[in-house]
Amino acid sequence: MANSSTASVDMEDVQTVDLMSELLRRMKCASKPDKRLIFIGPPGSGKGTQSPVIKDEFCLCHLSTGDMLRAAVAVKSPLGVKAKEAMDKGELVSDDLVVGIMDEAMNRPKCQKGFILDGFPRTVTQAEKLDEMLNRRGAQIDKVLNFAIDDSVLEERITGRWIHPSSGRSYHTKFAPPKVPGVDDVTGEPLIQRKDDNADVLRSRLDAFHKQTQPKGNLVNIPAEKAPEEVMKVVKKVVST
């Protein structure tokens, strides 16, 4: 009884406008078809730009392995405790643990209509373990969207990024340059480049991505070198069909 009473108090504390907005969202989502998607692609390919839009439009939940591991560790779930033990020892979290944490995450109400798996699975072993878990649920992956882009285009995208540290405003030497090179348009303060936004770091991350990633299943290649708006049109069309 204590648990239901706590839940009731929590609901009473929620603003009416928030409750109504969530109720309307769920009513709108009720008629949406179930979708189970995987987005794969190298760093800088635009997965992160497209995922939130597709998530909202198709009423899906966005499952990123990093976010799920942090959440499981924070709530101290049995799997989260095991994951933390591995991370504290500097070990990689096992595929079985990651898939188990995904299984837990898929029970949440916001995942009722399906999910976008971001960057997982990358290997055949991970894909097999994911398939086993989904089979137990009587589900399967509908589509794998591969954000395909040439490494040289990625290098231009990433190495041209500059940011204004205090505001987070971002610029690009080619695609969105500041009015004065190296200077923030609003404050006139200097811009910086993130340590990771350089060619050497990118190449090592791309090498790891290409070695690890072995796409499988209902694979659709997305031309990720196009402008974000054009990529979005293609992604929506692929997901809708």
Q: Is 157 a catalytic residue?
A: no
Task: Please report the beta strands in 41-122, taking only residues with DSSP state E, as ranges in sequence order.
Answer: 61-64, 114-118
| Structure token digits, residue 119 | 């960057």
Q: Is 169 a catalytic residue?
A: no
Q: Name the catalytic one among 47, 82, 129, 157.
A: 47
Q: Is 194 a catalytic residue?
A: yes
Q: Is 113 a catalytic residue?
A: no
Assign 166 to helix, strand or coil.
Answer: coil
Helix (H) or strand (E) holding 33: none
Given phi > 0 = left and psi -120 to 50 = alpha, else beta, which region is 18? alpha
Q: Name the catalytic one among 35, 36, 122, 129.
A: 122
Of 118, 126, 74, 61, residue with least CA distance to 100: 126
Q: Name the catalytic one among 26, 169, 205, 226.
A: 205
- As a whole number of angstroms, the distance between CA 233 and CA 176 comes to 22
Q: Name the catalytic one among 25, 194, 203, 233.
A: 194
Give me the active site residues, please.
47, 122, 161, 194, 205
